[in-house]
Amino acid sequence: MDPDARARVDAIATRGRVAVVGDDSVVYKDECVFSFDAPLSANGVYVNCETLFGYGRRYVELDSARTGCGAYVRVKTTRARRAEVEASETPTTLGFGVDGGFASESDAWEETTTYSLVLAPDFDDVSRELPLEGLPEALSAACERIARKRGFHDTEETKAWQETREVSRYALELAQEDNGKKIPSDPSKWRCEETGESGNLWVNLSDGHIGSGRRHFDGSGGNGSALRHYEAMKAQGKHYPLVVKLGTISAKGADVYSYSPDEDDMVEDPYLAEHLRHWGINMVSMEKTEKSMAELQIELNKGFEFDKITEAGSKLESAHGPRLVGLKNMGNTCYLNSVIQALKQVPAVCDRYFDKDEIFSTAPENPVTDFPTQMSKLINALVSDEYATPEAENAAVAVCPRMFKQLVGKGHPEFSTGGQQDAVEYFQHLLETMTRAERAAGSRLSEGPPTAAQFTFELEDKVTCVESGNVRYSVRKDNILSLEVPLDKATNKESVDAFRERELKRAKTESDDVEEIVRPEVPFSACLEAFGATETIEDFYSSALKRRSIASKTTRVKTMPNFLAVQLRRYFVGEDWTPKKLDVLVDVPKTISLENLRAMGLQPDEIVLPEDETANTAASSAPVRVEPDAAIVSALMAMGFSENGSKRAALATNNASTELSMEWVFAHMEDVDFNDPLPDQSAASEPAMAASDPESVTMLTSMGFDETAANAALKACSGNLERAADWLFSHADDLPSAIAEVNGASTSADASEGAGSVSFDGPGEYELFGIVSHMGGNTNCGHYVAHVEIDGKWYIFNDRKVALSLKPPTDLGYLYFFRRR
């Protein structure tokens, strides 16, 4: 080591801040925290020997200036393609890098990684390849552990994502009747005991009944007699939940489904061989004759919906350049990828996060946990030309938003997992996360209203007492215009009905005739009309009449946002209480107007419903207590859900219907408080401190805030401690007024935070610029794709693949993005 290098090394050692890399230490050596540079990049990644954060070459000087660190371990990986192997067979497992699954990209390469010690200020000097003799002990140990230790992403994520199935809780003590029934081993002799059908047959493991399965998400399948048999047995007091798809039985296993409402999913049966042997089936000698449920889902890619949304069959021209950068799918993150591709087209997003080096220079000690840093990192990569070359699409270094996903999803029961999620829910969660972070960031970001305010609008609800004619107006905020799809307004209803009749005849006669599906075609204008239609409220208490009566309710848009996000409610809960998707075409036009839905406010000839006299008394000054509908709660409990969870669902949907409550259950059944008792509504009028968790209050007061501020923060953030801390710091400059607003607000402060505290207004004329489409039977499976208009041309963003779009699927979208014309 030359004298100059020796002197610098000694100075670093004397500084005494070299990290002690222990077993619990996290080393960010697989990706730059400010960019998507990785060890496979041209210059690799430089790991700070004090903080253990990694940086791309162009950010090393910035980090050294921020931290004062002068020693970095450079991690550089090179790769060579392995010898060609035979093309893999069609995948049979929903997974990556696993037997029978999709091939992993890295499987085709041989990689070699080298580690070098790099000293400031000549960071490009990488001649000192590790290990080096003569280094101070602390620095030598740190370099050695950095080189040996797995990177952050290797530690936090598994290489292979695979669909997992839980072991059924009913498998161990499954009841099996001794009724003498034996199932023949010859598949040609299998028949549905109710209809005589020979395909998609499921045997009930408890009584040996063979029934037809339900229709698949691709439109094929049976008539549901196996489920009807389960329900009939349940009505007799017999719980026979487990069924097996006969055609999938082999020595390797079979598809097992549990009809029990508390599972209602594909499951594992560890005792399957024993259970099948009871009915005369020897798994070892069986051969698979039908597609498994996983194979059917994979084959969906070849269907109408997938082909149309991804424009399969068209010779699409690959696109490259700024704003045309694809995102790597981390197993099931296409929902995130699609939302971000549309969101980056909002000027306010780029104005705040693109090309803002001050965000990085003012980043906190841990940039990985800082939303502005990670948002800026992602937007820079998508909008600039850094990763926009044609070579980048096939390069080893991909824009993979792992840090961003982990940060935004942290603590969330759904978005913190590796499973597929609802893109609409993620969009709203992202806006809420962004708003909190922007308030906390203060002067680090450009001034102005929260970015989410671009999508925030106000809805005006007008309730009219039918008898008296008196009215009541209320205003609420939202950031999604959610529209029902009225199937009864289909313009081709007669053709659809005729097709369904022919389908039923073919099913009864076991005809092999195949006909192209006739899908309902509903005009987008009908969806807007349904939104603005008058709703009847039964059993309405009229303060004008002093008794129960009937009221009508209409909803109008009070303020028109700069950017409008529209959701078409394609997903619903079927009669068998499983999530389903409307197979319907809604051709959304390129331009729309909401002016006919604009709220007009109180009119001169209207009389406001008087306040109830009893509301002025101290005893009744609290909000009206809302009770969960007993019928809805009973129906949900009959499906196996807890009483508390059923009550929460009924209240969350304002007792609208069992179906809507079930949809809420599917979305929230993993919430940590789903089965907790409901809070005492009688305490709603008490000060916020009465409802706050004492431990959370103590934690916040230990940060220097008084109890009043702590309770207000917890109230504003629904009791979430981490968010409450953010709220307090972000309102430090105007804390008294913020506390007063929370304690005096008539609407949920947390909800208004999520939607953005500011809403713009302007002409309600919009043009379409983004479509997020979903393929699959429900939002918990399948695949998302985005189509985005950029500089007058439409492009398809299918994860990493970006191409010029020939025909955007305007009639199959799930989430549409409009900008003001």
Indicate whether 239 and 123 sit together in one domain. no
Tell me, yes or no, whether 734 lies in a domain.
Answer: yes
More confident position, 84 or 371: 371
Final residue in a domain of this structure, among 681, 715, 740:
681
Give pTM, 2 decimals: 0.71
Confirm if 477 and 460 have CB atoms less than 8 A apart.
no
Strands 256-258 and 579-581, sheet pairing: unpaired
Tell me, yes or no, whether 204 lies in a domain.
Answer: yes
Which candidate, 536, 520, 371, 381, places its Cα nearest to that of 439? 371
Indicate whether 7 and 152 sit together in one domain. yes
| Angle, CA of 793, 314 and 329, to the nearest 5° | 75
Q: What is the largest CA-CA distance in the chain?
A: 96
Does residue 623 have a pLDDT over 60? no
What digits encode the pLDDT tens for the residues 167-187? 999 999 999 999 999 999 899
pLDDT of residue 682: 46
pLDDT of residue 185: 87
Indicate whether 218 and 274 sit together in one domain. yes
Tell me, yes or no, whether 162 lies in a domain.
Answer: no
Q: Long-range contacts of range 164-168, CB-CB < 8 Å, 24 or more positions apart?
A: 165/265, 165/266, 165/267, 165/268, 166/263, 166/265, 166/267, 166/268, 167/267, 167/268, 167/269, 167/270, 168/241, 168/242, 168/256, 168/258, 168/260, 168/263, 168/267, 168/268, 168/269
* Active site residue ranges: 334, 783
pLDDT-derived band at 238 (thresholds 50, 70, 90) equals very high
- What does the mean pLDDT of the chain come to? 83
Indicate whether 55 and 101 sit together in one domain. yes
Confirm whether residue 215 is marked as ligand binding.
yes
Confirm whether residue 259 is marked as ligand binding.
yes
DSSP type of residue 49: T
Which residues lie below 8 Å from residue 13, measured CB to CB, with a gap of 6+? 136, 138, 139
Q: Is 61 helix (H, G, I), strand (E, B) or coil?
A: helix
pLDDT-derived band at 812 (thresholds 50, 70, 90) equals very high
Token code pair at residue 266: 């594909």
Q: Is 209 helix (H, G, I), strand (E, B) or coil?
A: coil
**N-terminal to C-terminal alpha carbon distance within the chain:** 65
Final residue in a domain of this structure, among 254, 282, 297:
297
Indicate whether 637 and 740 sit together in one domain. no
Does residue 806 have a pLDDT over 80? yes
Confirm if 519 and 561 have CB atoms less than 8 A apart.
no
Confirm whether residue 216 is marked as ligand binding.
yes
Which candidate, 795, 777, 390, places its Cα nearest to that of 785? 795
Confirm if 241 and 230 have CB atoms less than 8 A apart.
yes
How crowded is the C-beta side of 694, counted as CA atoms within 13 Å? Answer: 0
What digits encode the pLDDT tens for the residues 27-49? 999 999 999 999 999 899 999 99
Confirm whether residue 214 is marked as ligand binding.
yes
Confirm whether residue 96 is marked as ligand binding.
no
**How many angstroms separate the CA atoms of 771 and 778, rounded?**
18
Confirm whether residue 264 is marked as ligand binding.
yes
Indicate whether 22 and 149 sit together in one domain. yes
Tell me, yes or no, whether 88 lies in a domain.
Answer: yes
Range of the domain at 267: 187-297
pLDDT-derived band at 508 (thresholds 50, 70, 90) equals confident
pLDDT of residue 431: 96
Query: Phi/psi at 172 (nearest 5 deg)?
Result: -65, -45
Confirm if 214 and 230 have CB atoms less than 8 A apart.
no
**Run of H or E residues at 78:** strand 71-81
Instruction: Tell me the CATH number at 227.
Output: 3.30.40.10
Q: Which residue has the tokens 């019928």?
A: 631
pLDDT of residue 401: 94
Count structural domains, the chain: 4
17-26, 76-85, 472-481: least confident range: 76-85
Instruction: Tell me the CATH number at 638.
Output: 1.10.8.10
Q: Long-range contacts of range 402-407, CB-CB < 8 Å, 24 or more positions apart?
A: 402/31, 402/153, 402/157, 402/330, 403/31, 403/33, 403/368, 403/374, 403/377, 404/336, 404/374, 404/375, 404/377, 404/378, 405/330, 405/333, 405/336, 406/156, 407/368, 407/369, 407/371, 407/374
Does residue 484 have a pLDDT over 80? yes
Indicate whether 104 and 21 sit together in one domain. yes
- DSSP3 helix / strand / coil % (the chain, rounded to 5): 35, 20, 45
Q: Which residue has the tokens 């938003």?
A: 401
Interval 75-99 mean pLDDT = 64
What digits encode the pLDDT tens for the residues 349-386? 999 999 999 999 999 999 999 999 999 999 999 999 99
Tell me, yes or no, whether 671 lies in a domain.
Answer: yes
Distance of CA 760 to the CA centre of its chain: 27
**How many angstroms separate the CA atoms of 122 and 448, rounded?**
40
Indicate whether 133 and 259 sit together in one domain. no
Which candidate, 590, 491, 492, places its Cα nearest to that of 807? 590
Token code pair at residue 538: 């039964």
pLDDT-derived band at 581 (thresholds 50, 70, 90) equals confident
Q: Is 112 helix (H, G, I), strand (E, B) or coil?
A: strand
Does residue 621 have a pLDDT over 80? no
Token code pair at residue 486: 């009225």
Q: Strand 547-557's sheet: what is its strand order?
A: 471-478, 457-465, 547-557, 535-542
Indicate whether 25 and 149 sit together in one domain. yes
Interval 685-695 mean pLDDT = 52
Q: How long is the chain?
A: 821
Distance of CA 187 to the CA centre of its chain: 41
pLDDT of residue 754: 42
pLDDT-derived band at 817 (thresholds 50, 70, 90) equals very high
pLDDT-derived band at 755 (thresholds 50, 70, 90) equals very low
CA distances from 288 to 98, 226, 255, 270, 324 (A): 20, 20, 11, 19, 44
Indicate whether 43 and 95 sit together in one domain. yes
What digits encode the pLDDT tens for the residues 517-539? 899 999 999 999 999 999 999 88
Final residue in a domain of this structure, among 156, 174, 201:
156
Which residues lie below 8 Å from residue 420, measured CB to CB, with a gap of 6+? 332, 334, 335, 776, 779, 780, 781, 782
Tell me, yes or no, whether 302 lies in a domain.
Answer: no
Distance of CA 350 to the CA centre of its chain: 23
Confirm if 54 and 33 have CB atoms less than 8 A apart.
yes
Confirm whether residue 192 is marked as ligand binding.
yes
Q: Is 362 helix (H, G, I), strand (E, B) or coil?
A: coil
589-603, 701-715, 796-810: least confident range: 701-715
Does residue 104 have a pLDDT over 60? no
Indicate whether 68 and 133 sit together in one domain. yes
Confirm whether residue 257 is marked as ligand binding.
yes
Query: Phi/psi at 176 (nearest 5 deg)?
Result: -135, 120
Indicate whether 19 and 104 sit together in one domain. yes
What digits encode the pLDDT tens for the residues 289-314? 888 776 766 555 445 555 666 676 66
Confirm if 245 and 235 have CB atoms less than 8 A apart.
no
Strands 783-790 and 765-775, sheet pairing: antiparallel
Q: Which residue has the tokens 């230790």?
A: 149
Q: Is the peptide bond before 628 cis (omega within 30 degrees of 0)?
A: no
What digits encode the pLDDT tens for the residues 240-249? 999 999 999 9
Which candidate, 547, 545, 558, places its Cα nearest to that of 470? 545
Token code pair at residue 242: 């487990």
Tell me, yes or no, whether 509 lies in a domain.
Answer: no
CA distances from 350 to 384, 491, 809 (A): 11, 41, 27
pLDDT-derived band at 751 (thresholds 50, 70, 90) equals very low
Tell me, yes or no, whether 663 lies in a domain.
Answer: yes
pLDDT of residue 430: 96
Which candidate, 120, 62, 69, places its Cα nearest to that of 358? 62
